[in-house]
Chain A
Amino acid sequence: MKKYLSFFRIRFVNGLQYRTAAYAGIATQFAWGFMEILIFKAFYNADAAAFPMEFSQLSSYIWLQQAFLALFMLWFLDNEIFSAISSGNIAYELSRPIDLYFMWFTKNLAIRLSKAVLRCMPILIVAAFLPSPYGIVLPFSFLGFLAFLAAMLLALFTVVAFSMLIYIATFYTLSPLGIRIVALSLTEFLSGAVIPLPFLPDNVRKIVEATPFASMQNLPLRIYSGNIAGSEMLRGISLQVFWLTVLVLAGRLWIKKALKNVVVQGG
């Protein structure tokens, strides 16, 4: 356990080193969030009745999405893992007394958390001061807030679990580029990163909400603002737990198989 904590600490401290990068990153994300909200405002102006959620709920969604980008977005993949696999260096990792899946999992968690912690506070603070309905609202209930935190944690784990599948897939193709590209473009849309899922027509939305992608950011972001509440919320969280379990089990089985191949081929 200590090993994993020290991985975590090293990554974290490393992330804090880059001061200007942090400032610039925050400014970038802020600008991005701002522009996104303006797009939705334009649509709202065009036809407010067709807007599937309260505008303030949408603003909260966007700001939380930006603040916790590093937690939710699949494209924060670890290049070190890809190059270790494609270069064959993975053989060295196998000679160490650690569980590879667990190590990668915690490594990815650490990277994402360290990035998110740096970014989230400034963005959230500024967003809190924006005039409503453009800013972020306070959570609508304490219980809801707890549920939000739970959902967010589950979402993070789901994202990492899915990333693991992407890493493992590259054992078989030796070209991380292809897998990444297809996986990323698919998940981007389906997870609600392009437009929040409520904006999709109902029949499409129902299908997407059943996929693991909807558990990645869609759920926590909507729980926060109360867009999803009550029994729907409980259902969503249990779906998250379900998908997380499936992804982790699949990952662990698959990595065992993949590593066996590596040993047979000699890397």
Chain B
Amino acid sequence: MRLYLKYLSIHIKSQMQYKVSFFLTVTGQFLTSFSAFLGIYFMMTRFNKVDDFSFSEVLLCFATVLIAFSLAECFARSFDTFSGMIGNGEFDRIMVRPRNEMFQVLASKLELSRMGRLIQAVIVFAYAIPASGVAWSADKVITLVLMIISGIAIFSGLFVIYAAFCFFTTEGLEFMNIFTDGGREFGRYPLSIYGEGILRFFTFVIPLALFQYYPFLYLTGRSANVLYILFPLVGFMFLIPCHIIWKIGVRHYKSTGS
């Protein structure tokens, strides 16, 4: 929407004022995900394969999750830091404006500096895409793109759920980290390595596997099931319960103040 673009231009203008802090955050993020990469590198060098996936295949998986997460963080950051917004009264200001609250919260932050992980991911992709031995045809490319977009949606949805919980309590929210940061950290390996139970959890409850695993099977040629390409789209539907939980949260806020 045009209004969203207007918000974006204000954010970009405003962040350009803090160049030093911007570069530092980007660097920091890059170094942190580089740390994660080193972990994978050393483990894979020692063991060669995990759950029958090769080093470059794991890297593909890692990079996909990293891109999806960093873009979700970049755009949906305001949900990730939502407790502050309630605390300082900014949400009250949002409630006094004649626009959808969720839209306003989404538009209220754009953190380009979250792109540090993105840069790491792109570099990893640059290596992994040719090295992975995947036969890159049109359908495979589409699969990869859908994986990333769906990942962005699902991570954003998780941020929204976290924000919605902030309406009810300011404590105990650490738990959501398991799915957001955890999703990013544990998603660096294909989700099948954790066993059947966990895989099923991440398929039906928090659908990370819908973008990170099943289409990945198709991508790497382990499965010829064309339907797997569509799984990421099913992942999009995760946003529906997220939205509902958000609405319940807003209603609760209107009944109890802050």
Contact = CB atoms under 8 A, between A and B. Distances in A.
A13 interface: no
Contact of B175 (A28, A52, A175, A195): A28
Contact of B20 (A175, A185, A195): A175
A115 to B, nearest CB: 12
A47 B174 contact: no
Interface in A54-107: none
Contact of A23 (B34, B36, B45, B172): B172
Please report whether the interface of chain A is mostly helix, strand, loop or mixed according to DSSP: helix
Contact of A194 (B21, B38, B46): B38
Given A42-B51, A46-B47, A21 B171 contact: yes
Contacts, number: 108
Interface string B171-192: 1111101100010001001000
A182 B194 CA distance: 31
Interface string B42-55: 11011111111000
Interface residues of B, number: 38
B133 to A, nearest CB: 18
Interface residues of A, number: 38
Contacts of B182: 31-32, 35
Nearest to A204: B42
B249 interface: no
A47 B175 contact: no
Nearest to A187: B35
Contact of A24 (B35, B36, B51, B175): B175
A201 B50 contact: no
A74 to B, nearest CB: 12
B158 to A, nearest CB: 14
Contacts of A47: 46-49
A246 interface: no
B180 to A, nearest CB: 11
A181 B27 CA distance: 8
A199 interface: yes
A18 interface: yes
Q: Closest 10 A-B residue pairs measured CB to CB?
A: A181-B28, A185-B31, A20-B172, A24-B172, A42-B193, A21-B171, A178-B24, A194-B39, A20-B171, A24-B175
Contacts of B32: 181, 184-185, 188
A127 to B, nearest CB: 17
Contacts of A50: 46-47
10 contacts: A19-B171, A20-B169, A23-B172, A35-B198, A46-B49, A175-B21, A178-B28, A182-B31, A188-B32, A194-B39
